[in-house]
Amino acid sequence: MIFNIIFFSLLAIIILAAAIYAVVQKDLLYAVIATGVISLVLSIYFFIMQAPDVALTEAAIGIALTTIIFVITIRNTSRREDEIPVNKEPDREEETK
Amino acid sequence: MVISPVHYIALPLLAAFLMPLLAKVNRELVRIIPGVVLTYLLFVSVVLMQRVTETGQPIIETLAGWQAPWGINLVFSQFTGFLVSLMVFMATLIWIFSYRFKKVDNEPALKYYILFMMLVTGSVGVVLTGDIFNMFVFMEITAIASYSLTSFYRDRDGAEAGFKYLLIGSLASTFMLLAILLLYTQVGTLNMAMIAERMHTVPVGMKVTILILFLTGLGIEAEMFPLNGWAPDAYSQAPSPVGATFAALVVKAGVYSLIRVIFTLFDIQGAYQYLIIMGIITLIIAEFAAMKQTNLKRMLAYSSIGQMGFVLIAFGIGTKEAVFGALFLMFNHAIIKSLLFMSGSFFVYNSTSKDINGMSGIGKKFPYMGFLFSIGAFAIVGLPPFSGFWSKLYILIAAADESMLALVAIILLVSIVEIVYYFRVVAKLYFGKPTDKEVVHKPTFGGYFSMTVLAVVILLVGFYPDIITGFIHRAADTLLDKGAYISNVLSMGH
Amino acid sequence: MDPILYNKIISVGVYGSAIGLILIGLYAVLVKKHLTKIVIGLSIIDSGVHLLFIAVGFIKGGTAPIFSEKGIELVNQGTAMVDPVPQALVLTAIVIGFGVTAVALSLVIRLYRHHHTARIDHIKSLKW
Amino acid sequence: MKRAFILLLLVVVGWVLADTFSQINFGESRMGDIKQQETVGAYYLNNTVEKLSVANVVTAIVVNYRGFDTLGEVTVLFLAASGLASILYRRKKRGEHDVMILKNSSQLLQTGAKLIFPAILVLGAYVFIHGHLTPGGGFQGGAIIASGFLLMFMAYKDYHVSHNVLTWVESIAGILFVSVGIWGLISGATFLENILGTGTLNDLVSGGIIPLIYIAVGFKVAAELTGVLETLLNFKTEK
C-alpha cells in the first residue's frame, strides 16, 4: 500500500513536472522531449490502470510518432521560443487557378 | 442491396479511398467521381424521404448487427432526413459550381475533391448518427477537412485562418470529449435515445456541468458567440466553394448537434433561455460587425453568423411554430448564402481588390451576375416575395405569440441593419462608377447552372412556400416529439 | 492503513495529474506566443483528457478486459474487469488527436515558411 | 490584465473539473449490477466471449460493436494525411526535387537499423494479426511499423518509400474495410455485421471479420503514418 502510494505520487509528480517543464522551457527541443516524457508516464499510468491496449497505442503514437513530428517541425521552423524575428516581408507563392 | 441511410457514409468513404488510385488512371475521374456519388446520394435522399413520409416512421438502421444501445445506429427521421437531403442537394450544386476547380494542377485537385467529399460526409454523419461519440468522430472528420480546406490557398492568409480554426476546434473537441465522458459515467451508455431516457436520474449539478461543456464544444461549429472568432477568417480565406459549403453544410451540422443535445438529450428548461440570450448577442454583434466590413466575403461571413444567431433564438423560443420558423430559416440560409458566396466570389475574382469599393459598377458589366446577387441579398434580408421573407415572418409570429415583444423589436431593428449593409453592396454594384481595372473572367457553365438553380429555388419558395412547408412542419414535429424518438430507437428489434 | 484514505490519496494523484495536465496545457495555449508551443499545449490537454477517461473506467482490483484461457469461467464474474468502453473511446481519441496534431504542425511549418517567424506576436494576420 | 483574466479562467476551469470529478469515485464500478447489464460496458463484458469468441473485449468494441467509429477514425487519419500533403504542397520548379532534412547518420545506427527493421515489421504485423487475442491491434501495429520506417529514414538519408506503393496500400486497405462492411449489407445483414463464423475462443482464426478488419486497419494506418512522416521529412526542396 505504502509502496503504491509512493509509486502513484511519483508518477503524478513526474508527469506534472514534465508538463510544467514543457511549457516554461524556452528551447523547444527540450520541451518536446518533455512531452515525450509525459506520454511515457501516461502510458505507464494506462498500463497499471489495466488498459494495455491504450498503453500500447500511447507508447507507439504518443512517445514515438508525435515526438518525431514535433522534432521535424522544429527543424523546419525555429528552435527557440524567444526567437528573434527576421524582418522580412512575408513571401507568398503564386496560386494556379 | 436495399437503399438505406448507411449509403450516405459508406459510399463517399469508398469513393474517397478509391480516388487516389483512380487519379492514376485518368485525371478527369477525380472530378467526376464526387459528382457521381453525390448525385446517387441525392437519389437515395428522394427514395428515403418518400419512404419516411409515407410511413410516418423514422428509418433506424443498426450497424454491425447490434441493436441500440449496444451498437451504433443511424436515424433517418423526417427531421434528420430533411436536413440530410438539404445538405446533399447543396453539396451537389456546390460540386457543379466547382467542377473546373484547379483545372491545371492535378495534385491539389485530388486533395480538394477528397477533402470536400469528406466535409460533406462528416456533416451528413453528424446529423444521421444516433450515438454521441460517433457524432464526435464525425465532427472531427468535418473539422480536419475544414482546417485543411481553409488553408488550401497559398496566396492569401489561408494558413492563419486555418490555424485559428484549428486552435478553437481542438479546444472544442476537448470540451466535447469531457462532456461525453461525464455523461457516460452518469448513464452508462452512449446511445442518444438511451441517454435521453436515463437523463432524469442524473443529479442536477452534474447535468448543468455536462450541458455547459456540450454547449461550449458544439457552439463553435454552430458559430455561437463568443466562440465564432474563427468564422470570418475561415470564410474569407477558404476557396469560395468551401465558403459556401461552410454556410450550407458545416454550420447546419453544428446547429443540429446543439439542438439535438438541448431538445432531446437534456431536460433543462434554462437551456432554452440560454439559447435565446446567446442568439441575441450573436445576432446583434455579428450584424453590427458585418456593417463595418469592407471586405465582401467577411461581410457575408458575419451575416452568416448573424443568421445562425437568429436560428438559435428561434429554437430557443421552443414552440412548434418557432421551431418550424427556425428550420425554414436554416433551409433558406443554406440556399441563399450559397448563392451569395458563389456570385460574390465571382465579383471578387473580377475586381482588383476584395473590397466592396473595388466592385463598384460591376453589376453593369455582368448584369446577370448582379441580378443573381441582388436576388440573394433581397432574399436574405427578408423582403417579399423571396423565400427569406417567410422564415422571418414565421419566427416573428412565433415570438409575438409567446408575447416576447422585446425580441420582436430586436429582430426588426437588426433587420434594418441587415438591409442597410446589403443594399449598400447592391447599390455599389449597380450605381457605382465602374473602375476600368477589372479583368474579365466569365463563370463556367457549371457556375451559371448552380447559381441559376439556387435563384430559381429562392423565387419558387418565395411564391409557393407550400412546396417546402409540409416537409418542414413534419420535421419540426419530429424534432419536438422526444418520446417518439426514444421509443423508436430503443424498440428496434425488441 | 485505512483503505478509504488510501483510495482518496490515489484518486487525488490520478485525477490531480489529469486535471493538472489540462490546466497546464490550457495555460500554454492561452499565454504562449510560439506556434509550436501552442501545439504542445494542445497535445498536453489531450493527454490529460485521455488519462481522465482511463481513470474513470478503472475499477479497483479489476483486471484488463482480456479473457485468458479460462475466460469462460471469468465471464460470470464480470465485475472483476475494468470497464472496456472508455478504453475503446480513448483508443479512438488518441488516433484522432494525432491527426489533429499533424495538421496543426504542418500549418506551423507553412506559416513559418511565409513569415520567417513562428511567433504569433510577429505575424500580423494572426491577430484576433 | 489579460494574464489575470486567463489565470481566473484557469482557476474556474480547474475548480469546476475538480468539483465534478470529486463526485466520481475513483476505482469504483459504475457498471451497475453486472448481471443486469445496466451499462453497455457490462453487456460487452458478459456477451463478447459467447457471441463473438473474441478474447480482447476492447478489440471487440473497437472493431465490432463500435466498428463504425473505427471506420471514421481511419478516415480521420486518411484526411490528416491528405490535408498535410495539401497544406505543405508546393509546385516544384524545373530541376527541383525533394530532399530529406535529415543527414546521413553513423555507421552504427545504419547497421543497427538494418538489423532491427525486419524485426520491427514482424512485431507490428504480429500485433495487428493478434489484435483479437492480445493487447494491441491495427492502430498499434500500424504505428509500430511506421516507427520502423522512421528508423530507416533516420539511418539512411536516401531511404525513400515510394509514394506509389503507399497510395496503393492505403487505398486497397481502405477499400477492403469498407467492402467488408458493404459485404454485410449485400448479404442481407447490416453494414459491418459479423457475417463469418466466429470460431473458437483464442484461435488465431476466430472472431469472424474482426481480424480481417484489423489487418486492413493495420496496413492502412502503417501506410498513412509512414506517408505523414515521408511528407514532413521530404519537406525541403533543393535545386
pLDDT in tens, B149-161: 999 888 778 888 9
Phi, psi of D56 (to 5 degrees): -90, 110
What does the pLDDT read at residue B229? 82
Q: Which residues of B touch A97 (CB under 8 A)?
A: 102-104
**A94 part of contact set with chain B, CB < 8 Å:** yes
Residue type, C97: G
Q: Which residues of C touch A30 (CB under 8 A)?
A: none
- Decide if pLDDT at C72 tops 70: no
Interface contacts B/C by beta carbons within 8 Å: 76
Percent of chain B whose predicted confidence (pLDDT) is above 70: 97
What does the pLDDT read at residue D199? 75
The answer as to whether A27 is a domain residue is: yes
Work out the number of other CB atoms within 10 angstroms of the CB of residue D200.
Answer: 10
- Decide if pLDDT at C6 tops 60: yes
The answer as to whether B421 is a domain residue is: yes
The answer as to whether A70 is a domain residue is: yes
C91: CB partners within 8 A, 6+ apart: A53, A54, A57, D58, D62, D139
What grid cell was written down for B143?
473539422
Nearest to C98 among A66, A74, A77 (CB): A66
Task: Determine whether the interchain pair D150/A61 forms a contact, defined as Cβ–Cβ distance below 8 Å.
Answer: no
Q: Which residues of D touch B185 (CB under 8 A)?
A: 24, 30
What does the pLDDT read at residue C106? 93
Rg (CA), chain B: 22
Range among B138-147, B213-222, C3-12, D17-26 rated most confident: B138-147
pLDDT in tens, A26-69: 999 999 999 999 999 999 999 999 999 999 999 989 888 999 99
Kindly report the nearest CA distance between residue A84 and chain D, in angstroms.
Answer: 22
Task: Determine whether the interchain pair D39/B189 forms a contact, defined as Cβ–Cβ distance below 8 Å.
Answer: yes
What is the Cβ-side half-sphere exposure of residue B191, based on CA atoms within 13 angstroms? Answer: 31
More confident position, D45 or B323: B323
Rounded alpha-carbon distances, angstroms, from residue D187 to A64, B412, B466, D207: 41, 57, 41, 18
Q: Which domain holds residue A35?
A: 2-76
Kindly report the nearest CA distance between residue D191 and chain A, in angstroms.
Answer: 26
The answer as to whether A84 is a domain residue is: no
Q: Which residues of A touch D58 (CB under 8 A)?
A: 51, 53-54
The answer as to whether A89 is a domain residue is: no
- Decide if pLDDT at B218 tops 70: yes
Task: Determine whether the interchain pair D73/C84 forms a contact, defined as Cβ–Cβ distance below 8 Å.
Answer: no
Task: Determine whether the interchain pair B156/A92 forms a contact, defined as Cβ–Cβ distance below 8 Å.
Answer: yes
The answer as to whether B194 is a domain residue is: no
Q: Which of B300, B190, B207 is nearest to B251 (CA)?
A: B300
Task: Determine whether the interchain pair C111/B177 forms a contact, defined as Cβ–Cβ distance below 8 Å.
Answer: no
Q: Which domain holds residue B290?
A: 270-463
Chains in contact with B, counting 3 or more C-beta pairs less than 8 Å apart as contact:
A, C, D
What does the pLDDT read at residue B494? 46
The answer as to whether A95 is a domain residue is: no
**Residues facing B75 on adjacent strands:** B60
**C103 part of contact set with chain D, CB < 8 Å:** yes
pLDDT range class, residue C74, cuts 50, 70, 90:
low
**D65 part of contact set with chain B, CB < 8 Å:** yes
Task: Determine whether the interchain pair A96/B102 forms a contact, defined as Cβ–Cβ distance below 8 Å.
Answer: yes
Q: Which domain holds residue D208?
A: 57-238
B191: CB partners within 8 A, 6+ apart: B68, B69, B73, B130, B131, B132, B489, B490, D40
In the block, cell 543527414 appears at D103
Using CA atoms, how far apart are residues B317 and D158, in angstroms rounded to an integer?
64
Percent of chain D whose predicted confidence (pLDDT) is above 70: 92
**C13 part of contact set with chain D, CB < 8 Å:** no
pLDDT in tens, B246-258: 999 999 999 999 9
The answer as to whether A88 is a domain residue is: no
What does the pLDDT read at residue D52? 83
**C17 part of contact set with chain A, CB < 8 Å:** yes
Q: How many helices (H) and strands (E) does chain D have?
A: 8, 2
What does the pLDDT read at residue D203? 76
What does the pLDDT read at residue B36? 94
For chain C, give every domain's residue range.
3-126
| Cα A42 versus chain centre, distance | 11
Q: What is the mean pLDDT of chain B?
A: 89
Domains contained in chain D, number: 1
**Residues facing B61 on adjacent strands:** B74
The answer as to whether A13 is a domain residue is: yes
Percent of chain B whose predicted confidence (pLDDT) is above 90: 62
Rounded alpha-carbon distances, angstroms, from residue D24 to A52, B186, B237: 23, 9, 44
What does the pLDDT read at residue B24? 87
pLDDT range class, residue B39, cuts 50, 70, 90:
very high
Q: Which fold has domain C3-126?
A: Helix Hairpins (1.10.287)
**Does the ipTM surpass 0.85?**
yes
Using CA atoms, how far apart are residues D68 and D63, in angstroms rounded to an integer?
8
Task: Determine whether the interchain pair A15/C105 forms a contact, defined as Cβ–Cβ distance below 8 Å.
Answer: no
pLDDT in tens, B448-475: 999 999 999 999 999 999 999 999 999 9
| Cα B308 versus chain centre, distance | 9
Kindly report the nearest CA distance between residue A93 and chain B, in angstroms.
Answer: 6
Q: Which of B285, B286, B299 is nearest to B425 (CA)?
A: B299
How confident is the model over B414-418, as a mean pLDDT? 91
pLDDT in tens, D126-142: 998 888 888 888 899 99
Instruction: Classify residue A50 as left (phi > 0), alpha (psi -120 to 50) or beta.
Output: left
Q: Which of B387, B388, B427 is nearest to B303 (CA)?
A: B388
Burial classification of residue B403, based on how many CB atoms lie within 10 Å of its CB (0-12 exposed, 13-18 middle, 19 or more buried): exposed
Kindly report the pTM of this predicted structure.
0.95
Angle at which helices D163-186 and D209-233 pack, to 10 degrees? 150
Task: Determine whether the interchain pair D46/C75 forms a contact, defined as Cβ–Cβ distance below 8 Å.
Answer: yes
pLDDT range class, residue A97, cuts 50, 70, 90:
very low
pLDDT in tens, chain D (239 residues): 888 999 999 999 999 999 999 988 888 888 777 777 778 888 898 888 888 888 889 999 999 899 999 999 999 999 999 999 888 887 766 666 666 666 667 888 888 888 999 999 999 999 988 888 888 888 999 999 999 998 888 888 778 788 888 999 999 999 999 998 898 888 888 888 887 877 777 777 777 888 889 999 999 999 999 999 888 887 665 54
How confident is the model over B264-269, as a mean pLDDT? 88
- Decide if pLDDT at C75 tops 80: no
Q: Which residues of D touch B34 (CB under 8 A)?
A: none
What does the pLDDT read at residue C70? 57
pLDDT range class, residue B394, cuts 50, 70, 90:
very high
Task: Determine whether the interchain pair C104/B180 forms a contact, defined as Cβ–Cβ distance below 8 Å.
Answer: no
Domains contained in chain A, number: 1
Domains contained in chain B, number: 1
Task: Determine whether the interchain pair A53/D137 forms a contact, defined as Cβ–Cβ distance below 8 Å.
Answer: yes
CA angle B260, B265, B271 (to 5 degrees): 80
**Strands D236-238 vs B59-62: parallel, antiparallel or unpaired:** unpaired
pLDDT in tens, C17-45: 999 999 999 999 999 989 999 999 999 99
